[in-house]
Amino acid sequence: MSKSDNERNIEHYKFHHIDVEKCKNCSDFFCEDKCFRHIYKVENKESEPKCVLVPGREGFCIKCHICTTVCRFKAIRID
């Protein structure tokens, strides 16, 4: 996969960037479980999982990087 293909899979929020292609292989959904600020929600857990930000909650992030650490696919980037 080329760099540009990778870039197309990334969903950009204000300062979170999620490679949702990687979420398709996920089964533990630690982003949703471990973020104590409840910033993430994983949709379609039973079929094609996809991590999204809960509307209105991005600003509650304190950049502790628990989420980037626990996501074993390294799907999350935070600026």
Q: How far is the CB of 64 from ligand SF4 (least distance, A)?
A: 4
Among 13, 29, 41, 54, binds ligand SF4 (CB under 6 A): 29
Calculate the alpha carbon distances from 41 to 1, 3, 23, 30, 38 in Å. Answer: 27, 26, 12, 10, 8
Is position 45 an interface residue for ligand SF4 (rule: CB under 6 A)? Answer: no
Binds ligand SF4 by CB under 6 A, chosen from 15, 43, 62, 77: 62
Least distance (Å) from ligand SF4 to the CB of residue 4?
A: 21
Q: Could you give the C-alpha distances from 9 to 22, 51, 76, in angstroms and in order?
A: 9, 12, 12
